[in-house]
A and B are shown apart, each in its own frame.
Chain A
Amino acid sequence: MERSKTYMNSYLAGILIGVFMIGAYYFSGEGLGASGALKAVVVTAVNDVNHEYAKEAHFFKARVQNEEESPIKSWLIFEILGVIAGAIISAAIAGRLKFEIGKGPNISSRTRLIFALIGGIFFGVGSQLGRGCTSGMVMSGMGVLSLSGFIGLIAIFGGGYIIAYFFRKLWL
């Protein structure tokens, strides 16, 4: 028996997210993203510590040339702050606001955390190389009918299905 009575209907949630995405495009001309925010955190940190290096290195230079503008004062960061707030509000209403570790039943918490770290590293690298993550590149990309969004979709989900069998112990 799924306890999904406390979760919103998936289709409705999807449609509403779509509406918010339209809003993001209409007001700000931006798609909903996430990995960009993490990148901004990294860029800002490196820039604050060693601006000279950041100005030269290819990965950073595009964002740090202007000494006035901090890469952290961007639409994406404000959006992510909103995401944080929204998630907390929803969890609070639904009673899901508590510390816990989500994991499959057949592995230990320690294993889960180790894999979470590794998975995160992979995603960090992959999202930078792939030029976006599932929200920013795929979902927003599909919304404007960009080919790259669909390529991302096939790569992430196709790839996932191919290798899912090998990691089943983590989840099942």
Chain B
Amino acid sequence: MKKFDVLYVGLLLIGAFWTFIVNSASDEPIDRVQPCDLVDIVAQTDKYMTTDELARRLMSDDPTLALIDLRSKNEYKKYSLEGAINIPLENIVDPEFEDAINQDVQTVVFYSNSSDLAAKAWMLTKRLGYENNYILRGGLNHWVETILRPREPKETASRSEFERYNFRKAASAYFGGGSATGEAVATKKPKVAIKRKKKSAAGGGCD
């Protein structure tokens, strides 16, 4: 009887390994955004705003500008861009913020530390059909590198680079560069309770 016992238990083990291998091999991330949409969205090139452009607009007090800080409340409190309101990424599709980002009057610029969260927010809102939203290219990290602490170009650099550097130096002074703690003068500051919600991807099919 012993031999048969081993056979049967062995069969079970083989079956279990088969299950495990099959399961691991086929784990795909659940991607609710349909592939065709994604290609269209990603192909759009006019979704970025450079740090220079943003600086320019801020310095000229552009009233159509609406900055959205996608990071957590704590990060926002520590440092944020002038006039930005804080909508952490996981709350981006909350109804209370819809008015801020689904509109066609202002130019909404999403930013985060890099382009990462901003790109996600942009994708999500684009899928929902919101227009006039942009991603701050490079995010705050790039903002610090280019605007707050611009690097002096080499002697062999082109003239446009020097011009840009001069602009950035001026901007740096304007924004209190050197120290990364600007005062956030908020136009409207909704009380955002950060709830750890599951990220709700926009539904809908490929139509």
Chain A residues close to B by CB (< 8 Å)? 9, 11-12, 15
Contacts and interface: CB of A to CB of B under 8 A. Distances in A.
Contacts of A9: 1, 4-5, 8
A20 B12 CA distance: 16
A30 B187 CA distance: 61
Interface string B1-34: 1001100110110000000000000000000000
A112 to B, nearest CB: 30
Nearest to B5: A11
Nearest to A13: B8
| Interface of chain B: mostly helix, strand, loop or mixed | helix
A159 to B, nearest CB: 26
A15 B9 CA distance: 9
Nearest to A4: B1
Interface-central residue, A9, A11, A15, by most chain B CB under 10 Å: A11
B12 A15 contact: yes
A150 B117 CA distance: 40
Contacts of B5: 9, 11
A148 B82 CA distance: 54
14 contacts: A9-B1, A9-B4, A9-B5, A9-B8, A11-B4, A11-B5, A11-B8, A11-B9, A11-B12, A12-B4, A12-B8, A15-B8, A15-B11, A15-B12
Q: Name the residue among B4, B8, B9 with the largest chain A CB count within 10 angstroms.
A: B8
Interface string B71-111: 00000000000000000000000000000000000000000
Contacts of A15: 8, 11-12
Nearest to B9: A11
Contacts of B9: 11
A157 to B, nearest CB: 19
A9 B7 CA distance: 11
Contacts of B1: 9
A20 to B, nearest CB: 16
Contacts of A11: 4-5, 8-9, 12
A54 to B, nearest CB: 43
B7 to A, nearest CB: 8
A115 B134 CA distance: 77
A15 B7 CA distance: 12
Contacts of B8: 9, 11-12, 15
B92 to A, nearest CB: 33
Nearest to A15: B8
B37 to A, nearest CB: 34
B30 to A, nearest CB: 19
A11 B11 CA distance: 10
B195 to A, nearest CB: 26
Contacts of B4: 9, 11-12
A9 B1 CA distance: 8
Given A9-B1, A9-B8, A11-B8, 11 more contacts: A9-B4, A9-B5, A11-B4, A11-B5, A11-B9, A11-B12, A12-B4, A12-B8, A15-B8, A15-B11, A15-B12
B12 to A, nearest CB: 7
